[in-house]
Amino acid sequence: MSRGKPHVLIDGTSLGRDEILLVARGGASVELDPAARERAQKSWETAEAVARRRHVYGRTTGVGANRQEEVGGDAVLGHGLRLLRSHAGGVGFELAADVVRATMVIRLNQLAAGGSGVHVRVLDALEQALDLGALPRVHRLGAIGTGDLTVLAEIALTLAGERPWAVGEAPPVAVDTGDALAFMSSNAATLAESVIACADLQTLLRASHTVAALSFLALGGSAEAYAAVVHEARPHPGQEHCAAEMRRLLGLTGHPVAGRRIQDPFGLRAFPQVQGPALDSLAQLEQVLSVEVNARAENPFISVEADDVFHHAHFHTAYVAVALDQALASVHQVAELSAARLGDLVEPTMTGLTPFLASGPAGSSGVMILEYVAHDALAQMRHAALPVTMGTAVVSRGLEDHASFSTQAARQAIVVVEAYRHVLACELVAAVRALRVQQPELGDIPARAALERAAQVLDPSLEDRSLGDDLDRAADLLHELAAL
Give the model's pLDDT for residue 69: 78
CA gap 327, 289 in Å, rounded: 13
64 vs 143, residue with greater confidence:
143
Strand partners, 301: 310
CA gap 143, 146 in Å, rounded: 7
Residues ≥6 apart with Cβ < 8 Å to 43: 114, 115, 116, 117, 118, 302, 304
10 Å CB burial of residue 220 (0-12, 13-18, 19+) is middle
Indicate whether 90 pLDDT > 80.
yes
At 108-132, the pLDDT tens digits run: 999 999 999 999 999 999 999 999 9
Give the model's pLDDT for residue 64: 74
Give the model's pLDDT for residue 256: 78
Share of the chain above pLDDT 90, in %: 86
Mean predicted confidence (pLDDT) in 391-399: 85
DSSP H stretches of helix in 145-270: 149-159, 180-184, 188-219, 228-232, 237-250, 266-269
Residue 76's pLDDT band, with cuts at 50, 70 and 90, is low
At 5-15, the pLDDT tens digits run: 888 999 999 99
CA gap 156, 203 in Å, rounded: 33
Mean predicted confidence (pLDDT) in 448-452: 97
At 268-319, the pLDDT tens digits run: 999 999 999 999 999 999 999 999 999 999 999 999 999 999 999 899 999 9
At 396-414, the pLDDT tens digits run: 888 787 899 999 999 999 9
CA gap 188, 368 in Å, rounded: 43
Mean predicted confidence (pLDDT) in 10-30: 95
Amino acid at the residue 348:
P
Q: Are 416 and 384 in contact (CB under 8 A)?
A: yes
Read out DSSP for 400-454? Answer: B-----HHHHHHHHHHHHHHHHHHHHHHHHHHHHHHHHH-----S-HHHHHHHHH
Indicate whether 2 pLDDT > 60.
no
Give this prediction's pTM.
0.95
CA gap 182, 75 in Å, rounded: 18
Amino acid at the residue 140:
R
Give the model's pLDDT for residue 396: 87
Closest CA to 343 of 275, 463, 430: 430
The alpha carbon dihedral of 473, 474, 475, 476 has a sign of: positive
Mean predicted confidence (pLDDT) in 141-160: 95
Amino acid at the residue 371:
E
Indicate whether 1 pLDDT > 60.
no
Give the model's pLDDT for residue 471: 98
CA angle 101, 99, 390 (to 5 degrees): 140
- Which of 39-53, 67-81, 244-258 has the least mean pLDDT? 67-81
- Which of 25-39, 74-88, 267-281, 336-350 has the least mean pLDDT? 74-88
CA gap 265, 17 in Å, rounded: 36
Indicate whether 133 pLDDT > 80.
yes
Residue 74's pLDDT band, with cuts at 50, 70 and 90, is low
Peptide bond into 446 cis (omega under 30): no
Rg over alpha carbons for the chain, rounded to the nearest Å, is: 26
Query: Given the DSSP bridges, would you call strands 301-303 and 308-310 parallel, antiparallel or unpaired?
Result: antiparallel
Percent helix, strand, coil in the chain, to 5, is: 60, 5, 35
Q: Are 30 and 133 in contact (CB under 8 A)?
A: no
Mean predicted confidence (pLDDT) in 68-73: 70
At 218-236, the pLDDT tens digits run: 999 999 999 999 999 999 9
Residue 3's pLDDT band, with cuts at 50, 70 and 90, is low
- Which of 60-69, 84-93, 408-417, 447-456 has the least mean pLDDT? 60-69
Residues ≥6 apart with Cβ < 8 Å to 302: 43, 44, 46, 47, 50, 114, 115, 116, 117, 182, 309
CA gap 56, 299 in Å, rounded: 10
